[in-house]
Amino acid sequence: MSSAQQGTSAQQGPSGRRGERAYAAVPTFGVEEEFYLVDRETRATVARAPDVIKHAGDRLGDRIGPELFTTTVETRTRPVATLDEMRRELRGLREGLGAAADEAGCRVVASGTPVIPFRGPLEIVEDEPRYRQLADSYGPFVSDDRNTGACACHVHVAVSGREEAVQLCNHLRPWLPALQALAANSPFQSGRDSGFASWRALHFGRWPHVGPTPPFRDAVAYDALVDTLVASGMLQDRKHVYWYARPSEHWPTLEIRVPDVNAELDTVLLVAVLARGLVGVLLDDVRRGAAAPAVADPLLRAAHWRAARDGLRGSGVDPLTGRLWPAPDLVDRLVERAAPALEAAGELRFARSAWHRLRASGGGAARQRAAYARRGDLRDVVDALTVRG
């Protein structure tokens, strides 16, 4: 992957002011998506990941893989430079996965939590020793009957090194709740409306190593704390850091992990270009040595909690002030903060148009609830979430 170039100095957080600067280039980026597999008739999740992965192998190669449970699969794009390339990557992966699922007698669904859960105890993928170690180390977090799994969307943005990634994590902290609200797509849990737009955030947040990334002085401090947490036994290994943003342990990227997976391709593309655009503008502050916004951890957690509860249909918390704002207003600020980098990449028109449509619809959680409201049938929700490429 290529490294990111200098960006713009703009808002310091949701309450800040904007400025402008020229952009010479944009970093490459990639997307990982996690999906549920469901039965064609009942629409309940089914344990057919090994079969689907086998059928997809010839089409997708190492761009498809297992997740913790046999009810889910993950796809991974190649690193790309443009919106059009990302669209082709994601569409190709979804089409290939959908064809493989059809051959395995099931369907692919994009939701942060299952609408109609698996009937019986979930099965752990047996040919991945790390997953068995997770079950041994964390017990009920894995084996509890209430654990139905969770499906997220992860965005990787190329950076020049680990130090840059850690500093970007510091600067990203006040912006990620708005990105979470935009992508909220998991209102149902165990066949019932949870009352949250993103129940995945609460469900997955039970793990002790999930949450906002702590602020770090530098990469040395980051690595020292992670090593200490591994030695303590709370983390199984360094890859087990599930903070909302983190330096990748495998690639020269910053990974943003807060969004739910979404069925609408344009929503996923919007999440991806906003994440890259935000990294682009914040990188200028990092390279100039500007201090990251001081965000109180309790306020930041409140902002993420409110984003999970309300999504786009309600209020959000400005993490810098604690003030409540209409959630779409906070996303507006996010879009405008990323605008200079989006414009440099030729993506600003798409981002504003896609955000306008998403705002009008209320987002993935609102779509799920609307599908259920038509007949009171959860199968209609699953049908609305079926991935078709």
Helices (H), 186-261: 199-204, 219-232
In the chain, what is the greatest distance between 2 CA atoms, to the nearest angstrom?
Answer: 57
- The predicted-structure confidence for 123-163, as pLDDT tens digits, reads as follows 765 666 665 666 666 555 555 545 567 899 999 999 999 99
Q: DSSP 3-state helix, strand, coil percentages of the chain (rounded to 5)? A: 45, 15, 40
Contact 331, 312 (CB under 8 A): yes
Mean predicted lDDT score pLDDT of the chain = 89
Q: Which pLDDT does position 9 carry in this prediction?
A: 31
Cα-Cα-Cα-Cα torsion 252, 254, 256, 261, nearest 10 degrees, comes to -20
DSSP β-ladder status, 242-243 and 245-247? unpaired
Q: Which residues pair with 187 in a beta bridge?
A: none
Q: Which pLDDT does position 120 carry in this prediction?
A: 67
Greater model confidence, 67 or 255: 255
Beta strands in 166-244 (DSSP E): 188-189, 192-193, 210-211, 242-243
> How far is it, in rounded angstroms, from Cα 332 to Cα 315?
13
- Domain region containing 344: 29-385
Q: Any idea what the CATH number is for the domain that residue 63 is in? A: 3.30.590.20
> How far is it, in rounded angstroms, from Cα 295 to Cα 292?
9
DSSP single-letter state for residue 115? S
- The predicted-structure confidence for 4-42, as pLDDT tens digits, reads as follows 333 323 344 565 434 344 444 689 999 999 999 999 999
Domain assignment present for residue 55? The answer is yes
> How far is it, in rounded angstroms, from Cα 176 to Cα 179?
5
Token pair in block for residue 153: 């969307």
3-state secondary structure 119-180: CCCCCECCCCHHHHHHHHHHCHHHHCCCCCCCCEEEEEEECCCHHHHHHHHHHHCCCHHHHH
Phi, psi of 250 (to 5 degrees): -115, -30
Tokens 């299952």: give the residue.
Answer: 114
Greater model confidence, 166 or 205: 166
Greater model confidence, 75 or 233: 75
Least confident range of 200-209, 273-282, 311-320: 200-209
Q: Which pLDDT does position 207 carry in this prediction?
A: 74
Domain assignment present for residue 18? The answer is no
Domain assignment present for residue 13? The answer is no
pTM: 0.91
Domain assignment present for residue 321? The answer is yes
Average pLDDT in the 189-209 region? 89
Domain assignment present for residue 185? The answer is yes
- The predicted-structure confidence for 55-110, as pLDDT tens digits, reads as follows 998 889 889 997 877 899 999 999 999 999 999 999 999 999 999 999 999 999 99
Domain assignment present for residue 22? The answer is no
DSSP β-ladder status, 210-211 and 242-243? parallel
Least confident range of 140-144, 328-332, 341-345: 140-144
Domain assignment present for residue 19? The answer is no
- The predicted-structure confidence for 261-284, as pLDDT tens digits, reads as follows 999 999 999 999 999 999 999 999
Q: Which pLDDT does position 233 carry in this prediction?
A: 87
Q: Which pLDDT does position 57 carry in this prediction?
A: 84
- Domain total for the chain? 1
Domain assignment present for residue 6? The answer is no
